[in-house]
Amino acid sequence: MQKSIHVDCPTYLELGLKNGEVSTVNGKELNHEGVKHVIDYLCQEVDVKADDVLTKVKSIGKDEGAVTLKLYNGAVSTF
């Protein structure tokens, strides 16, 4: 039987952007499917979905560079 682990600390993600799309997660370059898979995996313990993270990135309106997000208790915020 697998136990569910609940973490009482936030997760931070640094997402690199190219042409308005996330291309790196914490410094690792990935394709679109890889980005979504890694974000989903990292978000499991903080009750956040990859779609929430990607929506937040799009709402920031940056096309290039990097954004750092804080994920905690179901919320996504800029850091």
Domain boundaries, the chain: 11-78
CB atoms near residue 45 (< 10 Å): 17
Which DSSP category does 24 fall into? E
Alpha helices in the chain (DSSP H): 32-43, 50-60
pLDDT of 30 reads 95
Question: Is the pLDDT score of 8 beyond 90?
Answer: no
Stated pTM of the model: 0.83
Instruction: Express as a percent the part of the chain with pLDDT over 70.
Output: 91
pLDDT digits (tens, 9 = 90+) for 39-54: 999 998 899 999 999 9
Q: What are phi and psi of 74, to 5 degrees?
A: 85, 0
pLDDT of 2 reads 52
